[in-house]
Chains A and B, each alone.
Chain A
Amino acid sequence: MPATKRSDYVSAISVRNVTRSYDGGVEALRGVSIEIQEGRVTALLGRSGCGKTTLLNLCGAMDFPSSGEVLIEGHSTTALDDARLTSLRRGTIGFVFQAFQLLPSLTALENVELPLLLAGTKGSEARAREILRWVGLEEKASALPFQLSGGQMQRVAVARALVHQPKLLIADEPTGNLDTQSGDQVLALLRRAADEFGAAVVIATHSAEAAAMADIRVRMRDGRIQGIESGGSEPGFAQ
């Protein structure tokens, strides 16, 4: 399955002139446009409250723009009903959170298997075991979350996000609760997800290590994109 490095990156998500405002009149995003490409790691950088998480939620179809549009696989998220959104989350998107968000009552293996069970995929256990091996935690398959370290929990969360081979992996401060070594391990996994699986990886982060590892760095401030830097030769574009 590992993908080779390519030069013709395909856009996984198009964010077009998006504004997101809330009931209290707060504008979390103001006229943001960005293309998220498959096989590349995009880091959203900026202070707390700059709109990173809002942008991530819009990219993951967990929230919707007040104006403008977000296209995932060419479909505007606002036009999708609940069933289509559910199917999108099942097949196309994987999430990793700062606080791991594992179900405390399920074992590591069961946590990883859960998206496949929700999608009704056959052979779910074998696939879950395979991806758990990929993150190096096969021996922890039967452990409950409280029996794992923070780093291990986040690796389980990465495995869960990748188990259904999503085109898009969204990670919100994935190293925020981890020590440096564990954080590096998790970042390495995210890098591999882009390189080997060809996933479009979007990370909202404060971490310098995460920013350094990214192909594209998007700097945000007060709900706007301030600038986009590219680690390689292909720049993103911003307004």
Chain B
Amino acid sequence: MKLFRRIVLRPLKADPIRTLISILSVALGVAVVIAIDLAGDAAVGSFQSSLATLTGKVDLTITANGGVDEAYLGRLAGLPLRAKFSAVIEQPVRVVGGGRGSAMVFGLDMIAAAPAQGNGEGEFTPAEMERSVVVSSDAAVKFDWKTGQQISLRGRNRTESFTVRSIVPGQTSGWLGLDLAAAQQLLDSFGRVDRVDVRFEAGEDAAAGRRAVEAALPPGYTVRTPGDQQEEKQKMLAAFRWNLRILSYIALLVGAFFIYNTIAVGVVRRRTEIGILRAIGSSARSIEGVFLAEAAVLGVVGSLLGIALGRVLAGGIEGMLSDTVNALFVTSAPSPILLSKAGVIGAVVVGTVVALLSALIPAREAARVAPAEAMRQASREHEAKVHSKRDLVISGALAALAFAACFAGPVDGRPMFGYAAALLAVAAMAMACPAMIVGILRALRPALKKLSGAAGLVAERSLTTALSRTSVVVAALATAIAMMVSVATMVGSFRETVQVWLVSQLGADVYMRGEGPATAGIFPAMDPRIPDLVRGLPGVADVDVFHAFPFRYEGTQATLGAGVMDIVRRKHTLRFLSGNADQILKSLEGTQRAIVSEPFANKHHVKPGDVLTLALGERPVKLTVAGIYFDYSNDRGLVIVDRSTLLRYLPEQPLTNMAIYVQPGADAVKVRHAIEEAVADYPVLVAPNGVLRDAAIRIFDRTFSVTWALEGIAIIVAMLGAANALLALVLDRRREIGLIRYLGGSQGQVRTMILTEAGLLGLLASALGLVLGMALSMVLIFVINKQSFGWTIQFHPPLGLLAAALALVWAMTILAGVYPARFATTIEPSDAVRSE
């Protein structure tokens, strides 16, 4: 322990700023990884979080595409099972009074659910029960409701009053619980329910019960346990979370580069000490152990700090992730952020292992030093040997491997080879660094000498002389910059693609949908009388009506939609990957044919001509795929049929959206106002196409806000590392800096010299980062994104943004040199030279 304190801890204490920066590098890396995991878990939430409080534990849930026929409840109740079957309606309603917004209503058999509530306020008569509502604490806060208060809810075509009977505490989403009969009446939803929950009584064999339930239902019905549902939700979010997780590891990778640098600098600086230790009997292994122990200290302390930081960070990004999950993937109420013991241990292990792995090479180098060589004065100048040419060949081989990996398919739905390609590309860049640095600096040499004289000359030379160290710093900075460039290019390209798509997709003048939350998988219904009401208005040319509802296909959720294909065809709103749009859409009218969105096709490996078997109501229906169209609305995937085809199987399926085309020459604004007036009494939302497009882009931008936050942190880690590395360079060149002062160098010239070095590091890293970033953006767009989400993204690098970002990073790198430069000016010339 004494030896550990003297040989490992003392050097760390002797260099507090560098130690602190190294710890911060690890801490930020670990913090990002932890934050993404914690916030991701919280955003996905628990499937049971809201209703379990109200209804108690559910063993099975029965659902059907298009809704469950209530008639089956009787059949289920007749089964020889000790079980309760509860029909549930789950739909949005408008809260009336000052236009206060919408909330989800759960229609339940309240009498059956009452014992589980734990909030009962005594016995109610059935009549009282029908006029009562139980609300979540979140809804109570949002709408400022108190127990006993009268509230008004607007259903599809009527408004009814209810009394708030109780408020369920600790809820993170806004919902209302109504008695099933009241909900059916309010929502005009008779004969069908959204699902049936099954609860087995104690002692009932759940597996046998499930088999009996399944046997009593038609083949199109699905029976799932809550575990199945949670698993399905996790599966839907897997790609999204995987990609975020991988991105979060980048900050850790950048941190790793700097741990490597810190240890490598320590080895170079302490060579004399190593020599003495070896001469007095230390083994090579124990020398290696000293440096690994140093890395472990940095890793453990950094990880612990990172866990605390990560917990704070998770709180900041949870909201952003939750928005994205709800907008694009699956409706989910966030659950509280929970830091588990396993999570803490995992983070410490990851942080420490990364630190140890990063230190392995320099620690081995230290162990190989011969005692006599180490003790020689001149060996202070020693730098690890760099084999630029050999490394360049290796770099070429790695780049070729990366290129090859781009052509491999996904593994278990994950773009594992895409990730491998990205990693190989980073490795290729790192190996090419020494040769590139020498080449670029050599080319810049005359200009540097001309522009900043001695400062330029010395700065350029010192970077070339300390090539191994310069290479590590440049590689780390370039990795962070490349990540920024690639993500900016990917997001910019994606944004441009979506914008172009929105213009063609949202070709109608006015859009309408049922009022309710705009989240994935929820399609509030509209009153069936509305289309005729709108059609009769002056200035309206065409009204396309659309029925959308979630359905299940191959174990995941997707959306089934039905519209008037004749209008879609005439208005050219869809673009297809291949084939003639006109012919494809014409072939859909009244037939058993469907078109699918690109994400659906990629996820389920569907191509034109394939036959999909979907359950519509009770019956399985076969649909031939006529074409695949571009769609960026969500990752779940869509299957679209002609309206007449859908209504043949599900005649009661409610209307969910409308697209209204204004006659040529008519005033679109006036027509919209007329429409708004005509439907004022219905719970619908009316929006012109511009508003919808803006809203879509807003959702898009919000989706990527987490990505930007991660990028920012990776850049901060890189900047800390750059400051650390520059400080190391200054400390190691005290003699040289002192000498320059002897030779007439002013403090200003010394400052300029260090800042020039910082600027050169930034320039080199920007150049390499830009090249690597462009390569990575292609991997992201054409491999990782395509395999994860199934979207085709057109390559549109946001040049202005990239130029501004690179300039900013460059400025920040120079800024990172300010402290080392100031430190350099305080070096006393006589002290520096005497210390030799």
Residues of chain A touching chain B, judged by Cβ–Cβ distance below 8 Å, are 53, 57, 60, 62-63, 82-83, 86-87, 89-91, 95, 97, 99, 101, 103-106, 110, 114-115, 117-120, 160, 164
Contacts and interface: CB of A to CB of B under 8 A. Distances in A.
Contact of B745 (A60, A86, A97, A164): A86
Given A57-B830, A63-B830, A114 B743 contact: yes
B454 A117 contact: yes
Contacts of A62: 742, 829-830
Contact of B744 (A57, A89, A101, A106): A89
| Most chain B beta-carbon contacts within 10 A, residue among A60, A86, A104, A105 | A105
12 contacts: A62-B830, A63-B830, A89-B742, A91-B744, A95-B743, A101-B742, A101-B833, A104-B381, A105-B465, A106-B458, A114-B458, A118-B740
A119 B454 CA distance: 9
B465 A115 contact: no
Contacts of A83: 746
Given A89-B744, A101-B739, A115-B744, A120 B453 contact: yes
Given A97-B833, A103-B736, A118 B462 contact: no
B451 to A, nearest CB: 12
Interface in B792-836: 829-830, 833-834, 836
A117 B753 CA distance: 13
| Most chain B beta-carbon contacts within 10 A, residue among A90, A95, A114 | A114
B749 interface: yes
Contacts of A95: 742-743
Contacts of A115: 743-744
Contacts of A118: 453-454, 740, 743-746, 749
| Most chain A beta-carbon contacts within 10 A, residue among B457, B743, B746, B836 | B743
Nearest to B463: A105
B462 A105 contact: yes
Given A105-B462, A105-B465, A99 B742 contact: no
A100 B735 CA distance: 12
A82 B746 contact: yes
Interface residues of B, number: 28
B464 interface: yes
Interface string B705-738: 0000000000000000000000000000001100
A99 to B, nearest CB: 6
A104 B465 contact: yes
A119 B453 CA distance: 9
A58 to B, nearest CB: 10
B461 A105 contact: yes
B744 A105 contact: no
A98 to B, nearest CB: 9
B739 A117 contact: no
A95 B829 CA distance: 12
A160 B747 CA distance: 20
Contacts of B453: 117-118, 120
A164 B743 CA distance: 10
Contacts, number: 72
Interface in B740-775: 740-747, 749
Contacts of B457: 106, 110, 114, 117
A100 to B, nearest CB: 10
B60 to A, nearest CB: 75
A60 to B, nearest CB: 8
Nearest to B377: A99
A90 B739 CA distance: 12
A89 B743 contact: yes
Nearest to A83: B746
A62 B461 CA distance: 26
Interface in B436-495: 449, 453-454, 457-458, 461-462, 464-465
A115 B449 CA distance: 14
Interface string B640-654: 000000000000000
Contacts of A89: 741-744
Contacts of A160: 743
Contacts of A90: 744
Contacts of B746: 82-83, 86, 118
A20 B742 CA distance: 20
Contacts of B749: 118
A63 B834 CA distance: 12
Nearest to B745: A118
A101 B84 CA distance: 91
A53 B742 CA distance: 14
A114 to B, nearest CB: 6
Contacts of B454: 114, 117-118
A99 B736 CA distance: 12
A101 B735 contact: yes
Contacts of B834: 53
| Most chain B beta-carbon contacts within 10 A, residue among A63, A87, A103, A104 | A103
B262 to A, nearest CB: 23
Nearest to A94: B743
Nearest to B836: A99
A91 B743 CA distance: 10
A91 B834 CA distance: 23
Nearest to B456: A117
A87 B454 CA distance: 15
B463 to A, nearest CB: 9
A62 B465 CA distance: 28
| Most chain B beta-carbon contacts within 10 A, residue among A82, A104, A117 | A117
Nearest to A110: B457
Contacts of B462: 105
A119 B744 contact: yes
Contacts of A97: 833
A164 B749 CA distance: 18
B738 to A, nearest CB: 9
Given A89-B742, A105-B462, A120-B453, 19 more contacts: A62-B742, A62-B830, A63-B830, A86-B741, A86-B745, A86-B747, A99-B377, A103-B458, A103-B461, A103-B740, A105-B464, A106-B457, A106-B458, A114-B743, A115-B744, A117-B453, A118-B453, A118-B740, A118-B746
Nearest to B749: A118
Contacts of B449: 117
Given A104-B465, A106-B458, A82 B744 contact: no
Interface in B380-426: 381
Nearest to A145: B381
Contacts of B458: 103, 105-106, 114
B189 to A, nearest CB: 81
Contacts of B829: 62
Contacts of B740: 103, 114, 118
A148 to B, nearest CB: 13
| Most chain A beta-carbon contacts within 10 A, residue among B377, B381, B746 | B746
Nearest to B747: A82
A149 B744 CA distance: 26
Contacts of A86: 741, 744-747
Contacts of A101: 735, 739, 742, 833, 836
A60 B743 CA distance: 11
Interface in B533-573: none
A90 B749 CA distance: 13
Nearest to A62: B830
Contacts of B745: 86, 118
Nearest to B459: A105
A105 B454 CA distance: 13
Contacts of A60: 742
B462 to A, nearest CB: 6
A105 B449 CA distance: 14
Contacts of A164: 744
A117 B452 CA distance: 9
A57 B453 CA distance: 27
Per CB-CB distance, the 10 closest pairs between chain A and chain B, nearest first, are A90-B744, A105-B461, A117-B454, A105-B465, A86-B746, A62-B830, A89-B744, A118-B454, A117-B453, A115-B743
B791 to A, nearest CB: 51
Nearest to B829: A62
A95 to B, nearest CB: 5
